[in-house]
């Protein structure tokens, strides 16, 4: 069952082999593209005893690019007039991220980040063009389609980062694709790359130091891409008194640079992706597979690991209630996380799909929610409800000042279904197509 979900599945059959299996498990989990492994423990083995020396600590193994790979990469980029860089994946280090930014800015390249990897590049950089994920800026999507050379570093090039496999033609992209990935199994999985490079991000970025480019041909395109990003992140009004875009922009401008922002899955996260400005590395936690209920427990874990950092969870109402009982854990361990619960009284994403595909046939997406502020207070935390934009900043500062786990319920108009449209407009358009 777990074979398709993990990098390796093993079963320990004798107690004396525990160090061997655990060592293998950690090496496998951390090598190449990091990922989960599973060890099964038969019940009879759990009662066995053995005297055996421990295995040493695992060592991380990452592939590195060959010199010939870097020479070919330099040749391809040197001949480009419309290059684009796409960043993604895990296993990065702090230093490598900063080194890459310096190299990209020095060479005037435009860069985007794949779905929920926006903290891989400082969003304030003049080279940053936006996130390449769900509800991508249409102008950015067109830039990637029009690119003559696409350097994908760490990105798997899956459904979310290719707009449903529409930004690149499969299996042979129109763009000259340079695909750098730590997992050899990802290279060629969907797309045939002109230059596939099996390498960890840090190892590749170290090798980039020797690549020098003449950026004069594309600097203007990079400036235009940045201008389009800045226009895209200007708040758009939505129905109701509470403007979620303005709240997210306020958070991006106000929170410390090392603040951690987590989110689960749902349409509410679209405002985070579009409007929050990520500055520091490892400041974003979000499920790549789109699973609901992730945001709040992730925030609790982050606060336990880094108690000195500000941690904010942005949750939908249905999303929060999938693991909302973890508020008790936050109170028990003194994790002063702040949860923003966007309450529109429905499973918004599913409702959007229902209205778009079967207008006015709504089924099982309406929620009966608690008073989330009272819910927080019932556990001994801090709770407030906000119904207008102007009331948010004072409520947030009060929550932060308490030093307690807190919930701020954001009562949003149900019509505000996405960053760009309303529920009624989706329904009207769907009905018009049926006529």
Angstrom distances, CA of residue 109 to CA of 84, 86, 121, 142, 221: 7, 11, 13, 16, 9
Q: Does any domain span residue 62?
A: no
Contacts of 294 (CB under 8 A, 6+ apart): 262, 263, 264, 265, 285, 286, 287, 319, 323
pLDDT given for residue 46 in this prediction: 87
Q: Same structural domain for residues 248 and 219? A: no
Distance from first CA to last CA of the chain, Å, rounded? 46
Residue 238 resides in a domain:
no
> Looking at the domain assignment, is residue 53 inside a domain?
no
Note the pLDDT of residue 386. Answer: 98
364: left (phi over 0), alpha (psi -120 to 50) or beta: left
Q: Is the pLDDT of residue 240 over 90?
A: yes
Q: Are residues 223 and 258 in the same domain?
A: no
Domain shared by 163 and 253, yes or no: no
What's the mean pLDDT when you consider all of the chain? 96
The helix/strand/coil state of 425 is: helix
Output the pLDDT for position 215.
87
Whether 194 and 331 share a structural domain = no
pLDDT value for 44: 87
Mean pLDDT calculated for residue range 335-359: 96
Q: Per the domain annotation, does 261 fall within a domain?
A: yes
Number of domains making up the chain = 3
CB atoms within 10 A of CB 201: 24
> Which pLDDT score, from 0 to 100, does residue 435 have?
75
Which of 177, 212, 232 is where one domain is finished? 232
Do 204 and 323 belong to one domain? no
Same domain, yes or no: 273 and 364: yes
| Packed helices 219-232 and 138-146: angle between N→C axes, nearest 10 degrees | 160
Residue-level pLDDT at 131: 97
pLDDT band per the 50, 70, 90 thresholds, residue 434: confident
Q: Examine residue 55 and state whether it is found in any structural domain, yes or no.
A: no
CA dist 59 and 182 (Å) reads 16
Domain for residue 56, yes or no? no
pLDDT value at 311 more than 80? yes
In whole angstroms, how far apart are CA 290 and each of 314, 318, 385? 14, 14, 27
Among 187, 212, 232, which residue terminates a domain? 232
Q: Is residue 94 assigned to a domain?
A: yes
**pLDDT for the residue numbered 270:** 96
Average pLDDT over every residue of 142-154: 98
List, as one string, the DSSP characters of 277-302: ---STT-EE--TT--TT-HHHHHHHH
Please determine, for residue 112, whether its predicted confidence score (pLDDT) is greater than 80: yes
Contact 110, 225 (CB under 8 A): yes
Same domain, 73 and 41: no
The pLDDT-based confidence of 110 (bands split at 50, 70, 90) is very high
| Residues 188-221: tens digit of each pLDDT | 999 999 999 999 999 999 999 889 999 899 999 9
Determine the pLDDT at residue 201.
95
Q: How confident is the model at residue 360 (pLDDT cuts 50, 70, 90)?
A: confident
Taking the whole predicted model, whether its pTM rises above 0.85 is answered as yes
Closest residue by Cα to residue 34 from 103, 87, 90: 90
- Burial state string for 384-401 with b = 16 or more CB within 10 A and e = fewer than 16: bbbeebebbeebbeebbe
Structural domain that includes position 36: 2-47
Q: Distance from CA of residue 43 to its chain's centroid?
A: 38
Q: How confident is residue 118, by pLDDT bands cut at 50, 70 and 90?
A: very high
Do 346 and 403 share a structural domain?
yes
Residues 199 and 331 in one domain: no
Helix 348-357 with 423-434: angle, nearest 10 deg: 20
The 10s digit of each residue's pLDDT in 35-88 is 999 999 999 888 889 999 999 999 998 999 999 999 999 999 999 999 999 999
DSSP string, 79-148: T-SSEEEEE--S---HHHHHHHHHHHHHTT--EEEETT-GGGS-TTSTTEEEEESTT--HHHHHHHHH-S
Asked if residue 73 belongs to a domain, the reply is: yes
What is the average pLDDT across 5-22? 95
pLDDT for the residue numbered 89: 93
The average pLDDT across 18-40 equals 95
Co-location of 252 and 216 in the same domain:
no
Q: How far apart are CA 105 and CA 125, in angstroms?
A: 8
What is the reported pLDDT for 400? 97
Q: Other CB atoms closer than 10 Å to residue 210's CB: what's the count?
A: 10
Could you tell me if 163 and 203 lie in one domain?
yes
33 plus 76 within the same structural domain: no
Interval 375-386 mean pLDDT: 98
CATH number of the domain where residue 380 is located: 3.40.50.970
């Amino acid at each position: 069952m777990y074979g398709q979900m993990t990098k390796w599945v093993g079963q320990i059959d004798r107690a004396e082999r525990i160090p061997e299996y655990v060592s293998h498990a950690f090496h496998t989990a951390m090598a190449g593209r990091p990922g989960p492994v599973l060890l099964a423990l038969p019940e009879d083995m759990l009662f066995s005893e053995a005297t055996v020396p421990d295995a040493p600590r695992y060592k991380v193994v990452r592939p590195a690019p060959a010199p010939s790979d870097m020479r070919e990469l330099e040749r391809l980029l040197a001949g480009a007039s419309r290059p684009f860089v796409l960043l993604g994946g895990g296993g990065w280090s702090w230093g490598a991220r900063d080194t890459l930014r310096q190299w990209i800015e020095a060479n005037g390249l435009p860069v985007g980040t794949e779905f929920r990897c926006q903290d891989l590049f400082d969003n304030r950089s003049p080279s940053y063009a936006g996130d390449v994920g769900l509800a991508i800026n249409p102008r950015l999507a067109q830039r990637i389609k029009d690119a003559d050379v696409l350097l994908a570093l760490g990105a798997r090039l899956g459904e979310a980062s290719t707009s449903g496999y529409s930004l690149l033609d499969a299996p042979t992209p129109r763009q000259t694709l340079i695909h750098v990935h730590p997992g050899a199994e990802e290279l060629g999985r969907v797309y045939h790359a002109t230059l596939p490079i099996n390498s960890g991000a840090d190892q590749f970025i170290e090798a980039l130091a020797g690549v020098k480019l003449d950026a004069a041909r594309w600097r203007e395109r990079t400036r235009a891409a940045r201008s389009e990003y800045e226009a895209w992140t200007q708040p758009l009004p939505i129905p109701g008194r509470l403007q979620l875009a303005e709240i997210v922009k306020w958070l991006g401008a106000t929170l410390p640079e090392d603040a951690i922002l987590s989110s689960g899955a749902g349409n509410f996260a679209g405002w985070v992706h579009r409007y929050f400005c990520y500055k520091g590395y490892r400041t974003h936690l979000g499920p790549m597979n789109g699973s609901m209920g992730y945001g709040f427990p992730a925030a609790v874990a982050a606060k336990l690991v880094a108690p000195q950092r500000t941690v904010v969870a942005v949750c939908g109402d249905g999303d929060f209630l999938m693991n909302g009982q973890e508020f008790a854990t936050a109170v028990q361990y003194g994790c002063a996380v702040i949860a923003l619960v966007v309450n529109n009284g429905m499973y918004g994403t599913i409702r959007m799909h229902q209205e778009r595909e079967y207008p006015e046939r709504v089924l099982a997406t309406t929620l009966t929610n608690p008073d989330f502020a009272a819910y927080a207070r019932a556990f001994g935390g801090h709770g407030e409800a906000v119904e207008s934009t102007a009331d948010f900043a004072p409520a947030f500062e009060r929550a932060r000042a308490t030093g307690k786990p807190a919930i701020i319920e954001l009562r949003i108009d149900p019509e505000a279904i996405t960053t760009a449209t309303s529920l009624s407009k989706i329904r009207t358009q769907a009905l018009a197509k049926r006529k």
